[in-house]
Amino acid sequence: MGLLSKKDAVLLSDPLADNNPITIQVLGICSALAITAELKASIVMAVSVLFVLGLGNVVISLMRNIIPSKIRIIVQLIVVATLVIIVDLVLKAFAYELSKTLSVFVGLIITNCIIMGRFEAFALGNGPWRSFLDGIGNAVGYGVILIAVGFFRELLGSGTLLGFKVLGDSIEKTGLYALGYENNGFMLLSPMALIVVGIIIWIQRSRNTSLIEEN
């Protein structure tokens, strides 16, 4: 850890597990669940949030001493909205199909609680480098859950990963399908995202009992 001091490394590693934004802080669930039916969309969403949160944290942190606290919410919203517009335009230019699948959920990164939450809780009180690390750490923690949910939903729901037919062809009955395996179409519907996240939380808390809530 030449570049990172121990304290900084914690900023990066903590949100990955014990302080995960989705499963522990309960932030950013809003736009996370609806787009996880496909792995590809989950990855794009995770990368977009990484970009917005990493950069946004730095910008807010640089401005933290000149923002009057009364109007800080508006300032934060403008910063996020600008970054999200950049993401949206880039997606429309280079991955038009994908931006159609994500539809309004790119725009909803603006009100993704994880972003406002990190601005409020961290970037307003810390220097740019530490804020950057915090942003990256939290965005990666968010992305890990998103990609895990996307992985299981796409694998079990349509038998593909990133569009590749990893389990064989369901129409020509090759691979696993020859043995009578069927896709679980239910995994593609929105309620299953909630249940998959619920199960992830369950597993995480069974492994680390200190996270268990008092009802």
Partner 1 sequence: MEHLELFFKSIFIDNMVFATFLGMCSYLAVSKKVATAVGLGAAVIFVLAVTVPLNWLLDQYILQDGALAWLGEEYAQYDLSFLSFIMFIATIATMVQLVEIIVEKFSPSLYNSLGIFLPLIAVNCAILGGSLFMQSREIPTLGLSLTYGVGSGIGWFLAILAIAAIREKIRYSSVPPALRGLGITFIITGLMAIGFMSFGGMLTGGDEEKKEEKPVTEVAIKKKTEKTSAKEMVAENTNIN
Sign of CA dihedral 152, 14, 44, 117: positive
How far, in Å, are 41, 194, 196, 197 from residue 191 at the CA level? Answer: 17, 5, 9, 10
Q: Could you say whether residue 215 binds partner 1 (CB under 8 A)?
A: yes
x-or-dash pattern for partner 1, window 96-135, by CB under 8 A?
A: -------xx--xx-xxxx--x-------------------
Q: Of 160, 158, 39, 44, give the one whose Cα is nearest residue 99.
A: 44
CB of 25 to partner 1, least distance (A): 10
List binders of partner 1 among 34-93 (CB under 8 A): 34, 73-74, 77-78, 81-82, 84-85, 88-89
Spatial separation of the C-alpha atoms in residues 84 and 82, rounded to whole Å: 5
Provide the β-strand partners of residue 161: 164
Cβ neighbour number for residue 65 with a 10 Å cutoff: 7
Among 7, 93, 94, 213, binds partner 1 (CB under 8 A): 213
Binding residues for partner 1, rule: CB under 8 A, are 23, 26-34, 73-74, 77-78, 81-82, 84-85, 88-89, 103-104, 107-108, 110-113, 116, 185-186, 188-195, 197-199, 201-202, 205-206, 209, 212-215
